[in-house]
Amino acid sequence: MIKIVVDLLGADKPQTELVLGAIRAISENKDLYVYLMGRKAELEDFLANVTYDESQLEIVDCTQEITNYDDPVDAYHDKTDSSLIKGLKMCRMNEDIGGFVTCGATGVVLISSILILGKLNATRPALSVVLNGRNDKPFCIVDCGANIDCKADRFVDFARLGVAYMKTLGIENPTVATLSNGIEAGKGSDVIKEAHELLEKCGFNFTGNIEGKEVLDGNADVVVCDGFAGNVLLKSIEGTAKVVFDDIRRAAAGASDTQKAQLEAFIGRLEPKFDYNNEGGAILLGVKKPVVKGHGAATDKTVYNTVKIAYGLAKNNLVEKISEEFEKK
Amino acid sequence: MIKIVVDLLGADKPQTELVLGAIRAISENKDLYVYLMGRKAELEDFLANVTYDESQLEIVDCTQEITNYDDPVDAYHDKTDSSLIKGLKMCRMNEDIGGFVTCGATGVVLISSILILGKLNATRPALSVVLNGRNDKPFCIVDCGANIDCKADRFVDFARLGVAYMKTLGIENPTVATLSNGIEAGKGSDVIKEAHELLEKCGFNFTGNIEGKEVLDGNADVVVCDGFAGNVLLKSIEGTAKVVFDDIRRAAAGASDTQKAQLEAFIGRLEPKFDYNNEGGAILLGVKKPVVKGHGAATDKTVYNTVKIAYGLAKNNLVEKISEEFEKK
């Protein structure tokens, strides 16, 4: 059994909507067990009218909720009966729990995960997102928002985390590239130039610099960058795709219903793949259990996807794979 | 008469193709005069079969060409009869020349422009690109590649340059935002946080931080960032749009010819607007004449667009507008 803790509070949508994502995930994966962190009485009432296998879940009552207005450190100390803190502590204390899923406030998730679960191999944990590029080829961006001002050696840790992550997706010898403002080795900030030199010596399948325009072409499996550049990259991909799709629909505003339906058939399926919030979430790599963070505007579909990601990471031994990468140091 | 110097060498395409862009620009603007820098004999032969107003152009013979393999400083010293260096020197020496257009090597253009034309108001020149976002609302990114590692006060200069630039497009009181990894004032690298504080005090129409996903929404007229982040932003916009359009075409691969033609009608016109290389070029702001730099893969259309941009910037007194912004200091 793969056991995953699912935090159902702290997102924009009510727990009774989000829980349906978890129910769908367990119904599709018979070896998945979920601990649902939320308000027990309300969840029990709601689930009384839903069909699911009772042997695959347990509701854990939480009397507190963490919001975006909570200070991360205060929340960690004071809201010990919140779904987020209580859930992370359950993860820490039970060796057989494989991971944690939340749509809570990013800052609180980052800090509480580090404080409660602890760092793996003394690295600083990084946020990573897997996107599907051209021809649906997956690639990951590390870091995309946790570590803003980074020294060069941090990028080597990001590469190790990303390589381990891509290995859980079945990519055997992932290529690694540094995000930069030109593909030539001499391009980049001082830190990127230094990171480039370090990465060349570390035994990675390192392919050099990658530019923003090639990232989606899938020219590298792991794109390493600081959390500032990674965030700019991730969000501009998301924002650009959104504007392109919106503009296309506007261009077709005067078309017939048949033509519009046809257009939707061409573009409708593509749209979600450029929005990582729809597809899943960011993974906090480098803590002792996989933590998957969905967006605050998450729906039951987000919870379904994030639970599946956490399940996959636990099943494919992310934490062991990360340790292996760090042992090569 | 607005006089613009057009460098026809150093790009991938031959001068005989590129010159057609300049010819189209003068035929559409009767107060535009161009100096065509290239191999005179070949250009004369070619233009013998083209209709244009001879009083609107002059061919200036150049015996040397600068390529991407040239070292910028060596090229500046040694290739004095190249279209790029000779053209910039003509700009410097003739007060009535309003600007310079080139598709040559970026590094050489940057350094030679600074060395020959000189800096305006002692600022470090920045590369800027105007993109059209949602609903075709234009906005500019400063810097998008010239200044990689920047201190906070540089961002204030970038804002001045961008504001002056947007004023030449008729935007009276352009909004300014700092590109960051979150909209909250506390988000960003140490440099961005400091820049944010400085910009709040400088009398700009400053709206705070902007994220990568909102840039194309046109939430700010001027997006200030260092050349590293600006380059990541610009290129990821370009790359994402390209992949989205390619993916849509692939999704429609099995459709009928009529359906494909319909789809092209919806998306064909949108495609160029996300590719600044098609639309025009990057502007070097902060030198004593406007320098517009088209991509090396430029076509006659690129030259047409870049000449029109340089013409507009000269006509709308970019240089005076920049000086005005710096006088407010």
Mean pLDDT of chain B: 93
Give the residue-averaged pLDDT of A159-188.
Answer: 95
Same domain, B74 and B84: yes
> Could A239 and B179 be called an inter-chain contact, meaning their C-beta atoms sit closer than 8 Å?
no
Q: Which domain holds residue B82?
A: 1-123+286-319
Same domain, B265 and B128: yes
- According to the model, what pLDDT value does residue B150 have? 95
Same domain, A133 and A254: yes
Same domain, B300 and B216: no
Same domain, B81 and B15: yes
In terms of DSSP bridges, do strands B2-7 and B97-102 run parallel, antiparallel, or are they unpaired?
parallel
CATH number of the domain within which A234 lies = 3.40.718.10
> Could B243 and A179 be called an inter-chain contact, meaning their C-beta atoms sit closer than 8 Å?
no
> Could B212 and A145 be called an inter-chain contact, meaning their C-beta atoms sit closer than 8 Å?
no
Would residue B164 count as lying in a domain? yes
Same domain, B208 and B310: no
Would residue B107 count as lying in a domain? yes
Residues of chain B neighbouring A211 (CB-CB closer than 8 A): 231-232, 235, 239
Would residue B36 count as lying in a domain? yes
- According to the model, what pLDDT value does residue B279 have? 63
Same domain, B130 and B243: yes
Of all residues in chain A, the percent with pLDDT exceeding 90 is 83
Question: Which residue does chain B place closest to A237, by CA atoms?
Answer: B240
Question: Which residue does chain B place closest to A249, by CA atoms?
Answer: B266
Instruction: State the pLDDT confidence band at A211, using cuts at 50, 70 and 90.
Output: very high
- According to the model, what pLDDT value does residue B278 have? 63
Residues of chain A neighbouring B181 (CB-CB closer than 8 A): 145, 148, 227-228, 231-232, 235
* Stretch (H or E) spanning A258: helix A257-267
Chain A nearest C-alpha distance from B104 (Å): 16
Give the residue-averaged pLDDT of A213-229.
Answer: 95
Tell me which residue has tokens 């679960």.
A117
ipTM of the complex: 0.92
- According to the model, what pLDDT value does residue B170 have? 94
Calpha distance B15→B299 (Å, rounded): 10
Same domain, A29 and A164: no
Under 8 Å between Cβ of B290 and B316? no
> Could B236 and A237 be called an inter-chain contact, meaning their C-beta atoms sit closer than 8 Å?
yes
Would residue B262 count as lying in a domain? yes
Chain B nearest C-alpha distance from A42 (Å): 34
Which two tokens mark A262? 């046809």
Same domain, B231 and B216: yes
Calpha distance A94→A308 (Å, rounded): 20
- According to the model, what pLDDT value does residue B133 have? 86
> Could A212 and B133 be called an inter-chain contact, meaning their C-beta atoms sit closer than 8 Å?
no
- What is the total count of domains within chain B? 2
β-strand partners of B209: B178
Give the residue-averaged pLDDT of A209-237.
Answer: 95
Same domain, A139 and A226: yes
**Shortest CA distance to B174 belongs to which of B223, B226, B124?**
B223
Give the residue-averaged pLDDT of A75-97.
Answer: 97
> Could A232 and B244 be called an inter-chain contact, meaning their C-beta atoms sit closer than 8 Å?
no
Instruction: State the pLDDT confidence band at A276, using cuts at 50, 70 and 90.
Output: low
CA–CA distances in Å: residue B167 to residues B61, B156, B287: 36, 17, 17
Mean pLDDT of chain A: 93
Last residue of a domain, one of A258, A278, A298: A278
**pLDDT tens for residues A114-167?**
999 999 988 889 999 999 888 888 999 999 999 999 999 999 999 999 999 999
Calpha distance B209→A40 (Å, rounded): 40
Same domain, B152 and B294: no
- According to the model, what pLDDT value does residue A257 have? 92
Question: Which residue does chain A place closest to B258, by CA atoms?
Answer: A259
Same domain, A79 and A156: no
Would residue B325 count as lying in a domain? no
Indicate if the pLDDT at residue A42 is higher than 90: yes
Residues of chain A neighbouring B255 (CB-CB closer than 8 A): 262, 266
Chain A nearest C-alpha distance from B47 (Å): 37
**Shortest CA distance to B180 belongs to which of B190, B165, B170?**
B190
- According to the model, what pLDDT value does residue A297 have? 80
Q: Which residue stretches of chain B have pLDDT < 50?
A: none
Calpha distance A213→B246 (Å, rounded): 14
Which two tokens mark A85? 């803190």
**pLDDT tens for residues B130-155?**
998 888 889 999 999 999 999 999 99
Question: Which residue does chain B place closest to A212, by CA atoms?
Answer: B236
> Could B189 and A228 be called an inter-chain contact, meaning their C-beta atoms sit closer than 8 Å?
yes
> Could A241 and B240 be called an inter-chain contact, meaning their C-beta atoms sit closer than 8 Å?
yes
Last residue of a domain, one of A278, A295, A315: A278
Residues of chain A neighbouring B193 (CB-CB closer than 8 A): none
Half-sphere exposure for A144 (CA within 13 Å, toward CB): 28
Calpha distance B298→B275 (Å, rounded): 12
Query: A73-86 burial string, b = 16+ CB within 10 Å, else e?
Result: eebbeebeebbbbb
Would residue B236 count as lying in a domain? yes
Half-sphere exposure for A322 (CA within 13 Å, toward CB): 26
Residues of chain B neighbouring A134 (CB-CB closer than 8 A): 243, 246-247
Residues of chain A neighbouring B138 (CB-CB closer than 8 A): none
**pLDDT tens for residues B1-41?**
999 999 999 999 999 999 999 999 999 999 999 999 999 99
Calpha distance A318→B179 (Å, rounded): 33
DSSP string, A195-237: HHHHHHHTTSEEEEEE-HHHHTTTS-SEEE--HHHHHHHHHHH
Query: B200-225 burial string, b = 16+ CB within 10 Å, else e?
Result: eeeebbbbbbbbbbbbbbbbbbbbbb
* Stretch (H or E) spanning B20: helix B15-28
Calpha distance B221→B176 (Å, rounded): 6
